[in-house]
Amino acid sequence: MKEPSEIRLWLIKTIAEQLNQVLETMAGESPMTESTGEASTPQSDSAFWEVNLTSAPGSSVIVAASRAAWMELGGRVLTAAGLEESDEETISSTFRETLDQAISGLAQSATSQLGREVTATTLKSSTNAAKPDDHWTSVDLFFRDGKTVRLSLLWTERLVAGFVASSGPPSAPAEAIAPAIAMTAAAVVTPGAGRTADVLLDVELPVSVSFGRAHLQLKDVMKLTTGSIVELNRTVAEPVEIIVNNCVIARGEVVVVEGNFGVRINEVISRQERLRTLH
């Protein structure tokens, strides 16, 4: 049975991994994350959001972010979508959708670890303010341009107790849910997302088709000339792979449409398999 301190550490490290994955997919950035589990009181101008992580009332996580923090994260996602200037409401909505995706990933990871379903409700604004005896922890995101964003999180005692009673997840972070089509711009659409959802639906994603791969020694590569044949690791009867954002999401067969190559999708692979095929 795990101790509450170990559960909190696992939760904070896993949400940090999920935030990194979501930002890499939605904003094209993969910030370094740091989460020690040490106490961290939200800033005085923080806004609060709450999401229930199980079916039991009171089993929830509260997220606090200063105005500068949610403006920075929401703004980065919108900039990646081609919107350099956005109003505050749109930026706030985009931040919430980003956070929703990260917490949904946390719920899926917890489901895998506990062997029972853990669901996450839609993120909602909360009036909860920091109290002196609350055990807040933080996630710091460090971007390549030098910007640092801190989010503070509070795990309710009912949530932690539920994990302890189920023997809880390991203290080390679980494998992050693979970034794939379910975590691309089209997948962050939630009911009532409004203009932000419409903007994200226009985000362009690189799609490629892989016929196979080969590993060659440098000396063999240097021998390649016109007419050389490179043998791939896939037979002609095997399906090709459809890759989105460097992640295999489906398999299919090659077809010809009006003189152009195309692919007919025969299989959409599971999230677990997407993780294994991540390029």
205-242 pLDDT tens trace: 778 888 888 888 888 888 888 889 999 888 878 889 88
Give the C-alpha separation, 253 to 244, whole Å: 17
Last residue of a domain, one of 153, 185, 201: 201
CATH code of the domain containing 53: 3.40.1550.10
Looking at the fold, whether 234 and 195 belong to one and the same domain comes out as no
Does residue 161 register a pLDDT over 60?
A: yes
Looking at the fold, whether 194 and 62 belong to one and the same domain comes out as yes
Give the C-alpha separation, 2 to 22, whole Å: 28
Question: What pLDDT score was predicted for residue 159?
Answer: 78
Looking at the fold, whether 178 and 216 belong to one and the same domain comes out as no
* pLDDT tier at 184, thresholds 50, 70, 90: very low
Last residue of a domain, one of 201, 221, 249: 201
Looking at the fold, whether 23 and 135 belong to one and the same domain comes out as yes
User: What DSSP line would sit under the chain, residue for residue?
Assistant: ---HHHHHHHHHHHHHHHHHHHHHHHHS---EEE------PPPTT-EEEEEE-SSSTT-EEEEEE-HHHHHHHHHHHHHHTT-SS--HHHHHHHHHHHHHHHHHHHHHHHHHHHTS----PPPEEE-----TT--EEEEEEE-TTS-EEEEEEEE-HHHHHHHHHTT---SSPPPPPPPSGGGSGGGG--TT-THHHHHHHT----EEEE-------HHHHTT--TT-----SS-TTSPEEEEETTEEEEEEEEEEETTEEEEEEEEEPPHHHHHHT--
Question: What pLDDT score was predicted for residue 22?
Answer: 85
Question: What pLDDT score was predicted for residue 132?
Answer: 62
Place of tokens 């806004």: 47
Total structural domains within the chain: 2
Report the pLDDT averaged over residues 120-144: 78
Question: What pLDDT score was predicted for residue 166?
Answer: 65
Looking at the fold, whether 108 and 217 belong to one and the same domain comes out as no
Residue type, 264: R
Place of tokens 């962050």: 188
Instruction: Give residue 223's domain range.
Output: 207-276
Does residue 147 register a pLDDT over 80?
A: yes
Q: What is the pTM of this model?
A: 0.60
Last residue of a domain, one of 178, 201, 224: 201
